[in-house]
Amino acid sequence: MVGFSNTTPVEDDLYREIVLEHYSHPRHRGELETASSRVDATNPLCGDELSLAWRVEGGRISGIAFSGRGCSISMASASMLCEALDGQDMATAADIAARFRSMLLDKGPSDGLGDLEALRGVAAYPVRIKCAVLAWNALLQELAGTAETEP
Amino acid sequence: MIEPALAPLDVARIRADFPILERKINGAPLVYLDSAATTQKPNVVIDAIGNYYRTSNANVHRGVHSLGNEATDAFELGRRRVAQFIDADPAGLVFTRNTTEALNLVAASYAREMLQPGDRIVVTEMEHHSNLVPWQLASERAGLELAAIRLQDDGTLDMDDAERLLKPPTRLLSVTHQSNVLGTVNDLATLTRLAHAAGALVCVDAAQSVPHRPVSVRQLDCDFLAFSGHKMCGPMGIGVLWARPEPLNAMPPFQGGGSMILRVTLQHSSWNDVPHKFEAGTPDVASVVGLAAACDYIDNIGLTAICEHETRLTKRLLDVLTTIGDIDIHGPLDLTQRGGCVSFNVGNVHAHDVGTILDRTGIAVRAGHHCCQPLMQRLGVPATTRASTYLYTTPNEIDALGEGLAEVKRVFRV
Ligand SMILES: Cc1ncc(COP(=O)(O)O)c(C=O)c1O
């Protein structure tokens, strides 16, 4: 009665290969002993928990790591965040974060976002957007020192 | 409990009573397996609410005009109808917004006000946050001890631990009748006997039992019982606290305002009789009328028949989950110890991912911690997927879930 064969494969939009790959082999997963910033994020709706830590040296992120547990989208997104921001200067990091959020929340352009573009499909799943932006909101909150970044 | 004497439910006819079941979700027919969160509503309930507003709406318990009198009659008739549904005296039946508010009422007006520092409240490891957090609040305020009966690995309560805890200084046991995660139906007869022998009262969270199996407060011999209308074909916004007269009469009011008073001066007030003493302000009369219609609807079909139907579906559900493989089922497998609400994990796949893939073909399940974070910690998982049945659920829907879970395994290479 249900036809999974009749629908677009979920791998074409939400669970793109690269997303599942980050989920099963996360980059930068672990603790960062020498962190200069550390922030926790939780999604009380689903119990996802995430910690993000990074070190800034000479205005650049010279180390970044995440830990926690959650769904494929929140974990892959955290892994991709770390990969995208490692080595960036703070202004670029904030800019990437803002453009990533805009891609999901306002269906903004994904030019220059590299692998992060693979999460674009999440925009079509409103309940999952919170998962994709969990790590990014935490980062932006810490950078801005405010809590105004709820989607 | 399983008496195959009854004729099976005419599910096709029942489904025709629920207009929402005709909906398509993401292009596929809705497969609603989330009735433990809230049930769908039959036309008779929707119409009863509409008709009340169209023909009889007025405020209750005030004024002398005829319409006000009609509305008051409808409200009090609703109270008697709902009381009958749980075999209770209507004088002990207090309308609340939901189970949560009913439990908060007991926590605030009984536990916080009437227990002494050092007294103990006992809950269990499987409680919904609404049967845990109110007791935490009351305990902090009144210097009470809060303890939880341990859960065994098979999803049933450790009755040795229950026996250890249900001793002085325990003054109240608050326990769920049926777990909203594990489906476990707790042995209330034994728990109540132990609690009463220790001089403790018993409060039952019946949110998941009253809708699904015959419940009699007289047979349960409990002191408080709470449930929600929206989980039994009734509207959202109406719930019930039933209490024995002894604690209820002695308890101070929960909220102050209109209807709950007898006489008010600028400095002092005296209280109306129970149950009105606990119903401050204008009540949700339309929802009471809707809940009474839901009681009629369920009784016309028969709770025993509904319970049997759900047992058959649960058997099929457990079989399907077992056949698919790589699925951890939480809670008892013995059908005599559980209801139609089954939580599971698919390999290491997060429940959200399971829920999203199922939703793509119209299958609605609950994914998350189910307001039971301590239970999730006990089970060692961040979240589970939960499928739950009701009188309108079909075997085909269970099979559709099976197909959906096979798709989950394919995408996540479990
Ligand atoms: C066992 C149990 N207790 C309490 C509740 C709370 O019900 P409500 O949200 O209607 O107050 C629920 C439902 O969510 C439940 O399943």
ipTM given for this complex: 0.88
Q: Is the residue at A4 inside a domain? A: no
CB-based contact B360 A46, cutoff 8 Å: no
Asked if residue A115 belongs to a domain, the reply is yes
Domain count, chain A: 1
pLDDT in tens, B59-77: 998 778 999 999 999 999 9
**pLDDT tens-place values along chain B, 414 residues long:** 444 456 789 999 999 999 999 999 999 999 999 999 999 999 999 999 999 999 999 999 877 899 999 999 999 999 999 999 999 999 999 999 999 999 999 999 999 999 999 999 999 999 999 999 999 999 999 999 999 999 999 999 999 999 999 999 999 999 999 999 999 999 999 999 999 999 999 999 999 999 999 999 999 999 999 999 999 999 999 999 999 999 999 999 999 999 999 999 999 999 999 999 999 999 999 999 999 999 999 999 999 999 999 999 999 999 999 999 999 999 999 999 999 999 999 999 999 999 999 999 999 999 999 999 999 999 999 899 999 999 999 999 999 999 999 999 999 999
User: Which residue in chain A has the smallest CA separation from B370?
Assistant: A46
Domain spans in chain B, listed from the N-terminal domain onward: 11-32+302-412, 46-299
Compute chain A's Rg from CA coordinates. 15
DSSP-derived 3-state class of residue B50: helix
List of chain B residues whose C-beta atoms are within 8 Å of the C-beta of residue A20: 411-412
**Domain enclosing residue A49, as ranges:** 12-149
Q: From the CA of B130, how far away is ligand 1's center (Å)?
A: 7
pTM: 0.94
Beta bridge partners of B242: B93, B225
Select the residue of A4, A47, A71 nearest B407 (Cβ to Cβ).
Answer: A4
Rounded to whole angstroms, the maximal C-alpha distance in chain B is 71
CB contact under 8 A, A4 and B362: no
List the catalytic residues of B.
Answer: 371
Whether A1 maps to a domain, the answer reads: no
Put simply, the chain A residues between 70 and 89 with a CB less than 8 A from any chain B CB are: 70-73
Contact B265, B129 (CB under 8 A): no
Ligand 1 centre to CA of B128 (Å) is: 7
The kind and range of the H/E element at B79 are helix B66-85
The reply to whether A45 falls in a domain is yes
What ligand 1 atom has the least distance to the C-alpha of B177?
1
Beta-carbon count within 10 A of B209 CB? 24
Give long-range contacts, CB 8 A cutoff, 24+ apart: B159-162: B159/B187, B159/B190, B162/B190, B162/B191, B162/B194
CATH number of the B11-32+302-412 domain:
3.90.1150.10
Mutation test residue for ligand 1: of B180, B233, B370, the one with most atoms within 8 Å of CB: B180
- Indicate whether residue B228 lines ligand 1 (CB < 6 A): yes
- Please report whether residue A6 resides in a domain: no
What DSSP string describes B84-131? HHTT--GGGEEEESSHHHHHHHIIIIIIIHHS-TT-EEEEETT--GGG
Min Cα–Cα distance to chain B from A1, Å: 7
Residue B287, ligand 1, Cβ within 6 A:
no
Task: Measure B260 CA to nearest chain A CA, in Å.
Answer: 36
The second-level CATH assignment, the architecture, of B46-299 is 3-Layer(aba) Sandwich (3.40)
pLDDT digits (tens, 9 = 90+) for B193-218: 999 999 999 999 999 999 999 999 99
**B46-299 shares the fold of B11-32+302-412:** no
How many Å apart are CA B353 and CA B380, to the nearest integer?
18
Residue A54 counted as domain residue: yes
Cα dihedral B305/B309/B314/B319 (nearest 10): 140
| Rounded CA separation B18/B231 (Å) | 14
| Closest CA of chain A from B369, distance in Å | 6
CATH label of the domain that carries residue A138: 3.90.1010.10
Residue whose structure tokens are 């102050």: B256
Among the listed residues B88, B336, B77, the one whose alpha carbon sits nearest the alpha carbon of residue B215:
B88
Q: Searching chain A, which residue's CA lies closest to the CA of residue B414?
A: A24
- Look at A48 and B400 and tell me if their CB atoms are within 8 Å: no
> Which chain A residues are closer than 8 Å to B361 by Cβ?
2-4, 7
Residue A32 counted as domain residue: yes
